[in-house]
Amino acid sequence: MEIALIGNPNTGKTSLFNNLTGSYEYVGNWSGVTVEKKVGVFKNTQGHLIDLPGVYTLNPLSKDEGVVTSFFLTESVDRLLNILDASQLERNLHLTLQLLEFEKPVLIGLNMVDVAKKRGIQINSAKLSAFLGVPVVPVVARNGKGCDKLVDVISTKSMKPVKKNLVYYGKEVEAAIAAISAVIEGKTEHSQRFLAVQYLEGNEYVKNYLHQIADAMKLSSILSNLESELQNRYDCKSLANFIYLKRKETIEKIAAAVAVKTDTVIPLTEKIDSIVTNKYLGIPIFLLLMYLMFMLTFDWLGTPLSDMLDAFLTGPITNLFESALTAIHASAFIHALIIEGLVAGVGGVLVFVPQIFILFFFISLLEDSGYMARVALVMDRIMESVGLNGKAFIPMIIGFGCNVPGIMAARTIETPKERLLTILLTPLMSCSARLPVYALFVGGFFAGHRALVVLSLYVLGIVVALTLAKVFSSTILKAETSLFVIELPPYRLPQFQSLWRSTWDKGKGFIRKAGTFIFAGSVFIWLLSYAGPNGLNVDMDHSFLAAIGGVIAPILAPIGFGTWQAAASLITGFLAKESIISTMNIIYFVPKDSNLQGLLANYYTPLAAYSFMVFILLYIPCLATTATIYKETGSKKWTAFAIGYALVIAYVLAFLIYQGGKLFGLV
């Protein structure tokens, strides 16, 4: 049995999905968190549950909304589970009425009853059920209240809608619906009434579908006749609007009968809003929050924790490996591979787990509290001036965690040009995999100003992205239209448990990557550094790795780090940014009683170190990001462009910083 979850954005579909399937998909308090179809298996009954992006209607504007409409048209589904936000019943019912026209069994989960209650809205679910002719179950997806009942109803009741044609669209439209139904009769297994109404509303996906299966001329003429008839008779704005108003009439009737409203106090949300979206304080507050986040990650909390972990890994753990290797009389080769290759390479990355978790915790907090949409609002003015809109800032913030979901999040941007621009620029956001490089270098060279130096890099990433946005949007990507309408959800106090889960979910990926990708990479890199043209166990300067790095090193000399070591780690950085650190740990294999940070001072000046960090920040999207750019743009040309411009801008900036710095007498 296939059951699809469908409802307005931010109504708690994914929360419910997680609850019913025991999985953990991305939840956040803004509209457009889910951008792809996700399939899960029910916990205790059989069948699949399908999570979909949120939509307001089945007539899509943006790509994530299109996912839902094409799902309806091309895939088979047995039942629909429609999630309604009880505190916004009227708006949510527009979608419900369209779903009922689809004539598949529908079950309604009335979610957020807790929020509605706080606002003084009481909904009689039995009455609602009677009106709509389908079962209605009140739930609180967040804590799982009512979910058992929901599962019960899903697996037992038939849910075939009992009443047909809840909305009477007026005699002209009904005649047109009948005419269209006659044309498509027998050519489709979907509900004819549904297709006809969507067609009349101007749904592009349905139009393409119908024009393929039936006589396009006939359909178009029915549509244009109806339009002119309505125009003459009622002087209505558009057919879509006419249909909307008819639905609204029905909804008003239903709402009046099922909802009881009492007056309540001013919600806390508005009080918070008057501060964080304050005229003058909005942007400073955002920067202050970012600064706090960096202080915690790099100074107050993260660094001490990482240092402890480092001491643990290089001390007891390495000793443990050493004694185990001695006990089994491992050969010198195996010994070197494990200690100098794996422990150094993988351990060197794992050390940064505490800092990465702190960063992810903050990002989760941002996502779950409702602040995300406010940041988009606060930033819109700046984004508009560079040819983007405030919504593009959301993918960028998500990109601070990992660029891949950031790029996916760009799907909610409605206009194609702005979306492409966002996809191209999101890789400039400094993702968590770049964080170990900064942590290592600021520790070695800028110990007094860790957080500030790192913050400067993050800000540089944003500034470069905005500058390039301006350049691209006024040259190759001129956009005619821009659209910025954003829903600002009420603040929700994040629950500790869900915060932890989403932090863990993001951090898990980092650990997993260390255990697989970085693990294999470390072995490979170590082998390259162990073997050379003259055999095995060569001096590292004569290894294959040195030979490969040496080819590129001269190009890097003008930007401050023309060593084969730097070049070699940059190459591995394309595979995954963490590899830079694991490679460095292997290359500069550190004798027991000193550390890499101290050792690096022999190879870099502080100025070169900063230039190196800037280069790492910008130089190339990693492999996974490149693949995502290709998937989302569907264009080799734009993917190549994303790599090319990044290399150029990174080189130019690092050059300016290094050579400029030298001019001013910095070292």
Partner 1 sequence: MNHSFKAGDKGKIVDLSHVSQLVQRRLLDLGITEGSEVCVKCVMPFGGPIMIESCGQCIGIRRKEAIQMEVVKI
Ligand X SMILES: Nc1nc2c(ncn2[C@@H]2O[C@H](COP(=O)(O)OP(=O)(O)OP(=O)(O)O)[C@@H](O)[C@H]2O)c(=O)[nH]1
Q: Which residues in this chain contact ligand X in the complex, by CB under 6 A?
A: 9-15, 27-29, 31-34, 53-54, 111-112, 114-115, 140-142, 368, 492
Our CB check for Mg ion shows the closer of 31 and 303 to be 31
Among the listed residues 61, 153, 452, 552, the single contact to partner 1 using CB under 8 A: 61
Cα of 352 vs its chain's centroid, Å: 22
Kindly state whether residue 483 participates in binding partner 1, applying the rule CB under 8 A: yes
Kindly state whether residue 381 participates in binding partner 1, applying the rule CB under 8 A: yes
Kindly state whether residue 14 participates in binding Mg ion, applying the rule CB under 5 A: yes
Our CB check for partner 1 shows the closer of 88 and 306 to be 88
Residue span 115-154 as binding mask against partner 1, x where in contact by CB under 8 A, dash where not: ----x-----------------------------------
Q: Taking the CB of residue 382, how many other CB atoms lie within 10 A of it? A: 14
With contacts defined by CB under 5 A, name the span among 10-18, 233-241, 403-411, 597-605 that binds Mg ion.
Answer: 10-18
Our CB check for Mg ion shows the closer of 34 and 432 to be 34
Our CB check for ligand X shows the closer of 223 and 398 to be 398
Among the listed residues 277, 456, 595, 597, the single contact to partner 1 using CB under 8 A: 277
* Joined tokens for residue 273: 């809003």
Q: Are 163 and 130 in contact (CB under 8 A)?
A: no
- Least CB distance from residue 132 to partner 1, whole Å? 18
Phi/psi at 566 (5° precision): -60, -45
Phi/psi at 38 (5° precision): -130, 140
CA distance 503 to 122: 35
Q: Are 617 and 650 in contact (CB under 8 A)?
A: yes
Kindly state whether residue 8 participates in binding Mg ion, applying the rule CB under 5 A: no
CA distance 71 to 596: 52
CA distance 622 to 479: 28
Q: Are 491 and 30 in contact (CB under 8 A)?
A: no
With contacts defined by CB under 5 A, name the span among 31-39, 299-307, 310-318, 326-334 that binds Mg ion.
Answer: 31-39
What is the sign, positive or negative, of the torsion defined by CA atoms of 333, 338, 340, 342?
positive
Our CB check for ligand X shows the closer of 153 and 336 to be 153
CA distance 190 to 206: 11
CA distances from 645 to 56, 464, 479, 636, 655 (A): 37, 12, 20, 14, 15
Phi/psi at 489 (5° precision): -70, 155
Among the listed residues 156, 208, 274, 516, the single contact to partner 1 using CB under 8 A: 274
With contacts defined by CB under 8 A, name the span among 87-95, 149-157, 451-459, 512-520 that binds partner 1.
Answer: 87-95
Where does residue 544 rank: exposed (0-12), middle (13-18), buried (19+ CB within 10 A)? middle
Our CB check for ligand X shows the closer of 145 and 248 to be 145
Our CB check for ligand X shows the closer of 6 and 258 to be 6
Kindly state whether residue 33 participates in binding Mg ion, applying the rule CB under 5 A: yes
Kindly state whether residue 485 participates in binding partner 1, applying the rule CB under 8 A: yes
Q: Residue 282's binding partner, choosing from Mg ion, ligand X, partner 1, none, with beta-carbon cut-off 5 to 8 A by kind? A: partner 1
Residue 86 neighbours by CB under 8 Å, 6+ apart: 110, 111, 112, 113, 115, 116, 121, 123, 138
Among the listed residues 139, 239, 356, 378, the single contact to partner 1 using CB under 8 A: 378
Kindly state whether residue 384 participates in binding partner 1, applying the rule CB under 8 A: yes
Quote the DSSP letter at residue 428.
G
Our CB check for partner 1 shows the closer of 14 and 88 to be 88
Our CB check for ligand X shows the closer of 9 and 302 to be 9
From the list 607, 527, 99, 540, the residue with the least C-alpha distance to 341 is 527
Residue span 315-354 as binding mask against partner 1, x where in contact by CB under 8 A, dash where not: ----------------------------------------
Kindly state whether residue 24 participates in binding partner 1, applying the rule CB under 8 A: no
- Least CB distance from residue 408 to ligand X, whole Å? 12
Q: Which helix (H) or strand (E) holds 624?
A: helix 623-633
Our CB check for ligand X shows the closer of 364 and 522 to be 364
Residue 181 neighbours by CB under 8 Å, 6+ apart: 192, 193, 196
Q: Which helix (H) or strand (E) holds 39?
A: strand 38-41
- Least CB distance from residue 91 to partner 1, whole Å? 4
Helices (H), 329-415: 332-336, 344-350, 353-369, 371-385, 393-401, 403-409
Which residue in this structure is represented by tokens 């089945």?
58
With contacts defined by CB under 8 A, name the span among 420-428, 483-491, 546-554, 593-601 that binds partner 1.
Answer: 483-491
Radius of gyration of the chain (CA): 29
Our CB check for partner 1 shows the closer of 367 and 380 to be 380
Q: Are 206 and 199 in contact (CB under 8 A)?
A: yes
* Joined tokens for residue 453: 């130096």
Q: Taking the CB of residue 661, how many other CB atoms lie within 10 A of it? A: 18
Kindly state whether residue 90 participates in binding partner 1, applying the rule CB under 8 A: yes
Our CB check for Mg ion shows the closer of 49 and 338 to be 49
Q: Residue 414's binding partner, choosing from ligand X, partner 1, Mg ion, none, with beta-carbon cut-off 5 to 8 A by kind? A: partner 1
Q: Which residues bind partner 1 (CB under 8 A)?
A: 56-57, 61, 87-88, 90-91, 94, 119, 237, 241, 244, 248, 269-270, 273-274, 277-280, 282, 373, 376-378, 380-381, 384, 390, 414-415, 481, 483-488, 490
Q: Which residues bind Mg ion (CB under 5 A)?
A: 13-14, 33-34
